[in-house]
């Protein structure tokens, strides 16, 4: 696979990381490098690790992975998005309190946004191992960068838009889950064909 193809694939895989990071950033009030880098590191790690898992599984588990990945992403993102919406509507927020980013939530988000990358590992089955490792590094680094940028964009939006940004973030997470589900089930293609 050419370098340009790998970079374009990495960008495509990182788009969900970008949107989820924007949703996270809008709940923050200012740049907080530790949680942003923690999230970005996990997103990059999981985006790089999932193709390795898919590659290891090879052709044997392709149908099983493809049958369930969209359901897993939809459920995880909907639960987390629903939790954010509930918090935005029913819990009073202290202006001085900073939202805590918990490891369990970060790992759940990292898994949900990297499910697509699992199946892409099958694209690398014939790739020499040294090139495959380089491809994984590129995918991880691009996802890391997109996550940092997404959090920064989200923080800017959260400061400057006079709306309930936590509610918007929750809706975005559910929307990403639905997008993944609809793409994998070809629902829209079947609807208009």
What radius of gyration, in Å, describes the C-alpha atoms of the chain?
17
Q: pLDDT band for position 151 (50/70/90)?
A: very high
In angstroms, how far is CA 160 from the centroid of its own chain?
Answer: 24
Q: 78 in a domain, yes or no?
A: yes
Q: 147 in a domain, yes or no?
A: yes
What is the domain count for the chain? 1
pLDDT digits (tens, 9 = 90+) for 106-122: 888 888 888 778 777 77
Q: pLDDT band for position 93 (50/70/90)?
A: low
Q: Which domain holds residue 146?
A: 63-90+102-114+137-185
What percentage of the chain carries pLDDT values higher than 90?
A: 19
Q: 179 in a domain, yes or no?
A: yes
Compute the average pLDDT of residues 4-21. Answer: 86
Report the distance separating Cα 78 and Cα 179, nearest Å: 11
Q: 16 in a domain, yes or no?
A: no
pLDDT digits (tens, 9 = 90+) for 41-51: 999 999 999 99
Compute the average pLDDT of residues 71-79. Answer: 75
Report the distance separating Cα 48 and Cα 134, nearest Å: 10
Q: 8 in a domain, yes or no?
A: no
pLDDT of residue 97: 47
pTM greater than 0.85 (yes/no): no
pLDDT of residue 27: 76
88 vs 100, residue with greater confidence: 88
Q: 143 in a domain, yes or no?
A: yes
Q: Are 26 and 18 in contact (CB under 8 A)?
A: no
pLDDT higher than 60, residue 95: no
Report the distance separating Cα 140 and Cα 81, nearest Å: 24
Q: What is the Cβ-side half-sphere exposure of residue 117, based on CA atoms within 13 angstroms?
A: 33
Q: 173 in a domain, yes or no?
A: yes
Q: 75 in a domain, yes or no?
A: yes
CB atoms within 10 A of CB 40: 22
190 vs 62, residue with greater confidence: 190
pLDDT of residue 192: 63
Least confident interval from 11-20, 61-70, 166-175: 61-70
Instruction: Give me the chain's average pLDDT, please.
Output: 79
Compute the average pLDDT of residues 159-186. Answer: 74
């Amino acid at each position: 696979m050419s370098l340009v193809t790998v970079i374009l694939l990495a960008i495509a895989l990182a788009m969900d990381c970008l949107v989820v990071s924007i949703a996270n950033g809008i709940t923050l009030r200012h740049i907080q490098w530790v949680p942003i880098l923690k999230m970005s590191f996990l997103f990059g790690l999981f985006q790089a690790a999932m193709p390795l898992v898919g590659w290891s599984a090879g052709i044997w588990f392709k149908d099983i992975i493809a049958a369930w990945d969209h359901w897993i992403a939809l459920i995880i993102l909907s639960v987390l998005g629903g939790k954010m919406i509930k918090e935005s509507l029913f819990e009073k927020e202290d202006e001085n309190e900073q939202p805590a980013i918990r490891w369990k939530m970060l790992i759940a988000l990292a898994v949900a946004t990297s499910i697509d990358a699992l199946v892409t590992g099958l694209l690398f089955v014939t790739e020499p191992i040294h090139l495959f490792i380089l491809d994984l590094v590129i995918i991880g680094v691009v996802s890391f960068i997109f996550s940092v940028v997404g959090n920064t964009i989200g923080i800017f939006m959260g400061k400057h838009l006079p709306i309930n940004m936590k509610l918007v973030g929750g809706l975005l997470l559910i929307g990403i889950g639905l997008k993944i589900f609809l793409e994998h089930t070809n629902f829209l293609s079947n609807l208009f064909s």
